[in-house]
Each structure stands twice: as structure tokens, then as C-alpha cells.
Amino acid sequence: MPGGTSLSPEPDRRLQTRAVHPPSPPPQPGEPLALRLDPSTTFSFSDAGAFARASAEKVGAGYTYSRWANPTVDAFEAAVADLEGAAEAEAFSSGMAAIAAIFLSMCSSGDHFVAARQVYGGTHELMESRLPRYGISARIFDVSDFAGIAQALEGARLLFCETIGNPRVQVADLDKLGALAAEAGVPLVVDNTFASPVLCRPLEHGASAVVHSATKFLGGHHDLLGGIVCADGAFVRELQELGRDFGATLSPFNAWLAVRGLATVGLRVDRSCSSALAVARSLKSHAGVAAVHYPALEGDPGKNLAEKLLGGMGGGVLGLEVAGGRERAARFQEALRLVTPAASLGGHHSLLVHAASITHTQLSPEELESAGISEGFCRLSVGLEDPADIASDLICALDSSG
């Protein structure tokens, strides 16, 4: 192949040239079970016409440059689209890159969108601080304020919410929100990170697009950054153009790690859910706990929606309000020996974070209060350790922090 790798050594080439263009081993029968990792940034063509067509079309006519398309990234996109029941998907370098691409591809200066208040702190900062610099404004409501949302949807570009809100774990009534969005002729975009497609597939409940931080439950091992949006072809085309112009594409290695994680996502999410419920039950009567928030827990306000949308499960994350506020929450965090104080979720390690001082520092005291985040609120992501050990560590830390 011109300019490529020879199948046999070229004796007239000098050593350094042969080092750059080594011979390829002959092909043998047998296909690998694991997904091939294609780290190449660029791809060669022996046919000049095919090269020109692929370069012009960028997607679908051949691989030319990995900012536009890559075989390993394509495999990840196809896998998640299949799990979510979507026509297509587009991967990004992080969950926030995916969310930013949605807003920037759908909104222009002078536009507004409607969003739930119960969202990740980074999403809140994007909506309230970054997007207004581009003339894009957010109208934010409690996720259950259907009257307010319906009124604000007039002229809006989209409605945005999370299936399970971060960090207070309120469950959104996607069927009602989807109906409101459809009536207004506005797409509903749902961040499904906390639920994963194992528990909920928002496209089945009226959503037009689904976004994930693949860093969390999809990847599941605390070792990759990634994001992905699943939708129909027209929606994805807009995201492709913007994401690639901004250079926010997912690396092949992170895509490869994410595909590996997807193979066990069902097992991991099921285990995290059952363990989270056991831990929530263990903590709810402790004197050092002001409240436990978990959608599948008996008496939780979200239990009916968890039955309706999540198959009766509550996800792998719970909210824990430590009695005594921020100071005791800090002592509690420092006393942990098994559960790790760290800002992330959805992996095999159990992680705990104080929301007001770590994940939601962007919110004012008034905004924290309206989002239901108290001074003692901690977010616990339940991993794959034995739930009895997780609960024991939390109880010991609560006892010693009093």
C-alpha cells in the first residue's frame, strides 16, 4: 500500500525507514473476543477518490481522522444507543462536554430553555454562569412544578432534567414532563447518568435525547472520562458538527474502557441498587442521621415514581443528612475507613462527598436550600463492597463524629 506498511521487508530501505515501516505479520484465522483498540489519529487510503469522498463526508464514507470518527469510538456509540433504544449516539470527552454540546447546538443568542433545579452542580454552573455569556438564558423550576414548567416552555428551545437528581436523588416524572414538552413542541433532554439504561430508558417516556456521563455507571471503574448523547439521526448530526468543531471528541482508549465497562453494567447496577437499599435501611434510624433520601426506601417521597420508572429500584446513590451540620459532616467524612471521600460516583468503590462544599459549591445558600441540600448533606455512591461492611463503616464514622 503506498505510504503504508509493507507485508515483507524492503531490503533497499535503510534501518530507520524500516523501523518506521516494519513488515506486518501474515493474517491468521481467529477473531479476538475483546473489542479491538484503534488508537490511530489518522487513516490511510490507497484509492485517492475514496480518500476525497471520505474527507468530504467526514462520517459514514470511511475513517480519515479520529476527531471525526474512529472505529473504537463508533463501537461505544453503537453499544450505548442500543441499550437506550436510540437510533444513534455521539460520544464526547466528558459528560459536561456532552451537556454543553446539547445546549450550544440547540440554542442561539436570545434563546431560552427550561431546566429542573435538581441537577449536578457543574450543569447548574453551565446554565447560570457560562451560557448567559452567549446570550442563552435558563428558566429553572423544581422538577415537580409542572404548572411553572408548562408556562415557561412557550418559546423555549428545550426542557432539561435528570432522571434521578444529583445529589438529592429526587425522581423526575418523565411521563408528565415528556407530555408537557410534546404539547409545547419542545424536545425533552434527560440526563440518565444516575439511573443508567439498566433502570430507565427515557426515550420510552417521551424524551427526545438522553445524555450520560460515561465516567459513572457506564464505565464503572473510576478510570475513564467520557460522555454520550443518544437520539435520532437529525439530533445527533447537529451534535457531531459542534462537538468536532470544538474538539470535544472521546479518545479511543476511553471508548475501549467504556465498552469493557458496559459488559457488566447490568450486574454492577443491580448490585449497587440492592446494596444501597440495605445501607439506607441500616442508617435511617441512627441518631446521627437527620434524614436518608433514597427512592426505593420505604416512606421516601419518590418511591411511587421509582416503582413506575425504575422497576422499583432506587439507583446506586443515596443522600445522607448528617445531624449537626457541616462541622459534624466533616468529622464524619474524616472518620471513614472503607468508604472513600472522593468526588465521583457509579464505580466499584463506595464514595462519599459533602455536597455543599464539594459538588455544589456553585450554589448560593438560598439555592442550596431550594434544592433540598442541607449543611450536613452527603452524597453516597454505593459500590461493590459487601453492604454490611459499607454500613458498618458509615455507622462507626457517625458514632465517632458525634
- Identify the domain boundary among 262, 291, 323: 262
CATH code where residue 315 lies: 3.90.1150.10
Considering the domain architecture, whether residues 277 and 229 belong to the same structural domain is answered as no
* 248 inside domain: yes
* Catalytic pick among 53, 67, 139, 260: 67
The reply to whether 223 belongs to the active site is: no
Q: What is the pLDDT of residue 367?
A: 83
Q: What is the pLDDT of residue 59?
A: 82
The reply to whether 63 belongs to the active site is: no
Average pLDDT of every residue of the chain = 95
The reply to whether 303 belongs to the active site is: no
Q: In what order do the strands lie in the sheet with 137-141?
A: 88-92, 227-231, 209-213, 188-191, 159-162, 112-116, 137-141
Count of domains observed in the chain: 2
CATH code where residue 144 lies: 3.40.640.10
Considering the domain architecture, whether residues 54 and 203 belong to the same structural domain is answered as yes
Task: Report the pLDDT averaged over residues 118-141.
Answer: 96
The reply to whether 120 belongs to the active site is: yes
Considering the domain architecture, whether residues 276 and 369 belong to the same structural domain is answered as yes
- Identify the domain boundary among 262, 297, 313: 262
Overall size of the chain counted in residues: 402
* 45 inside domain: no
Instruction: Find the helix packing angle between 265-283 and 387-401, rounded to 10°.
Output: 40
Q: What is the pLDDT of residue 6?
A: 46
Considering the domain architecture, whether residues 181 and 116 belong to the same structural domain is answered as yes
* Catalytic pick among 117, 120, 268, 271: 120
Considering the domain architecture, whether residues 272 and 165 belong to the same structural domain is answered as no
Considering the domain architecture, whether residues 72 and 155 belong to the same structural domain is answered as yes
pLDDT reading at 3 higher than 50: no
Task: Report the pLDDT averaged over residues 118-136.
Answer: 96
* 357 inside domain: yes
User: Over the stretch 16-73, which tens digit does the pLDDT of each residue have?
Assistant: 999 999 998 999 999 999 999 999 999 999 999 999 999 998 888 899 999 999 999 9
Q: What is the pLDDT of residue 54?
A: 93
Task: Report the pLDDT averaged over residues 88-112.
Answer: 98
Task: Report the pLDDT averaged over residues 171-190.
Answer: 99
Considering the domain architecture, whether residues 281 and 242 belong to the same structural domain is answered as no
User: Over the stretch 7-18, which tens digit does the pLDDT of each residue have?
Assistant: 555 678 999 999
Considering the domain architecture, whether residues 316 and 395 belong to the same structural domain is answered as yes
pLDDT band with cut points at 50, 70 and 90 for residue 369: confident
- Identify the domain boundary among 262, 278, 312: 262
Considering the domain architecture, whether residues 186 and 217 belong to the same structural domain is answered as yes
Considering the domain architecture, whether residues 285 and 252 belong to the same structural domain is answered as no
Range of the domain at 250: 50-262
* Catalytic pick among 168, 201, 216, 303: 216
Considering the domain architecture, whether residues 226 and 212 belong to the same structural domain is answered as yes
